[in-house]
Structure 1
Amino acid sequence: MWVGCLNIVRCSMHFRSLPTVEHDSVYLRPLRASDMAAWASYLNNPAVYEHTSWNYPTIEDLSGYLGNETSGEPDSRLRLAIASKDGDKLVGTIGFHSVAPVNKSAELAYDLNPEFWGKGIATAVGNVLVGWAHQHVGLVRVQATVLESNLRSIRTIERMGFAQEGLLKSYRHVRGTPCNFFMYARLAGSGNCT
């Protein structure tokens, strides 16, 4: 059983377990050192790589995500393994980065081995994680930025109930080139200050 603090609200809430995913073939768990080679391999697959902002990640680069679910920092990121129920192999990852505790917001990030595309995995796991973040962590806003060329991820984010808020021009450099990203958000409430 996982015990840790996501620290989005300065560790005022502790979690006894990860969200439970209702999917026939996958579940969520903390990342393991044994996952790093498989993760690096599929992230460097051209079909995946061309639509991400990763910069040819190595096993060493990705190992920085190990144990982040138990970090004591208020703005710590969270990245979890999406693992197969049959064989416990890494299928993908999902989590939050760019966490802003004071605003109770975070940015969703996920990736999936192309062998598992088109099976509804990212949508199912994303819905569970975002719902958990709203209901159990206390996040008000979960946002996602998607390269404008990543049509598959745009469809996935929209199936998760995210609303497009606009196009951010030259928002992030991707391997040295300024690229446009769509901004999406899923809110826990209305967010109106008036």
Structure 2
Amino acid sequence: MKRSDILASGEKVVLRRFRPEDHDDVHAFASDPDVCRFMSWGPNSQADTRDFLAQAVTVRPNRLDLAILADQRLIGSASVWTTDIEHRTGELGYTLRADAWGQGHGTDAARVLFRLGAEHLRLERIAATCDVDNLASARVLGKIGMSFEGILRGYRLVRGERRDHLAFARLIESPPIELER
């Protein structure tokens, strides 16, 4: 990978822009029912993955869609985007291959995303949500210093079922607070 391809890096992961040739690696996790269990999308068909990549490779001024790499292997996707330009607020999200779970990659990627939201998108408050049953993701958000703000009732429709989500947020100037494990 060329140095110019890297947008940001953490202790365990590198985040770079997606490329069309990432299709097979993205499809490997985006078509996995376990990975998509808590998501409003997926499991992806080949066409779904092509559509995702077509959007992800397009550079947009208020959104970063990035590939997560560990040991030069694509292991997931990460996004941070502006939700309100005037108020400088945004959201972040991430997805990892199942075989990359539990190794700190999600926490590292989320920490880097938070920094990118502040530096590149000039956000002052970043939020994130996760399914009420996705405790691993809730732990990641706590580890990067996001505060639990409440439960969003029926927030997402996941395979025909309305699902509650946990809401987290952090102000950029707030020091990161790592919760006890």
Question: TM-score by structure 2 length?
Answer: 0.82
Residues 98, 173 of structure 1: CA spacing in aligned structure 2 closer, same or farther, 3 A cutoff? farther
Q: Which of 16, 20, 33 is the equivalent residue of 2:20?
A: 33
Residues 46, 90 of structure 1: CA spacing in aligned structure 2 closer, same or farther, 3 A cutoff? same
Aligned AA (1:149): D
Structure 2: which 5+ residue stretches go unaligned?
175-181
Contact 2:65 2:79 in 1 (8 A): yes
Task: Summarize deviations over 1:42-79 as a string: whole Å, max 9, x none.
Answer: 122122111222133322231233323x325xxx4321
Percent of pairs with identical residues = 30
Q: Which of 84, 87, 91 is the equivalent residue of 2:70?
A: 84
Give, in angstroms, the shift of residue 156 of structure 1: 1.1
Q: Which of 140, 144, 148 is the equivalent residue of 1:160?
A: 144
Distance 1:20 1:42 in 2: 21
Query: Partner residue of 2:10?
Result: 21
Does 1:169 pair with 2:153? yes
Moved more, 178-187 or 90-99: 90-99
Query: Partner residue of 1:110?
Result: 94
Aligned AA (1:165): E
Distance 1:40 1:103 in 2: 35
Q: Which of 143, 146, 167 is the equivalent residue of 2:130?
A: 146
Distance 2:128 2:31 in 1: 21
Give, in angstroms, the shift of residue 41 of structure 1: 2.4
Paired residue total: 168
Give, in angstroms, the shift of residue 91 of structure 1: 0.8
Contact 2:38 2:158 in 1 (8 A): no
Query: Partner residue of 1:6?
Result: none
Aligned AA (1:174): V
Moved more, 146-155 or 123-132: 123-132
Residues 84, 189 of structure 1: CA spacing in aligned structure 2 closer, same or farther, 3 A cutoff? closer
Give, in angstroms, the shift of residue 98 of structure 1: 5.8
Structure 1: which 5+ residue stretches go unaligned?
3-16
SS of 1:52's equivalent in the other structure is: coil
Q: Which of 5, 8, 32 is the equivalent residue of 1:45?
A: 32
Give, in angstroms, the shift of residue 136 of structure 1: 4.6
Task: Summarize deviations over 1:142-163 as a string: whole Å, max 9, x none.
Answer: 1001110111111111111111
Distance 2:70 2:168 in 1: 28
Moved more, 49-58 or 27-36: 49-58
Residues 64, 105 of structure 1: CA spacing in aligned structure 2 closer, same or farther, 3 A cutoff? farther
Aligned AA (1:21): G
- Runs of 4+ in structure 1 displaced over 4 angstroms? none
Give, in angstroms, the shift of residue 135 of structure 1: 4.0
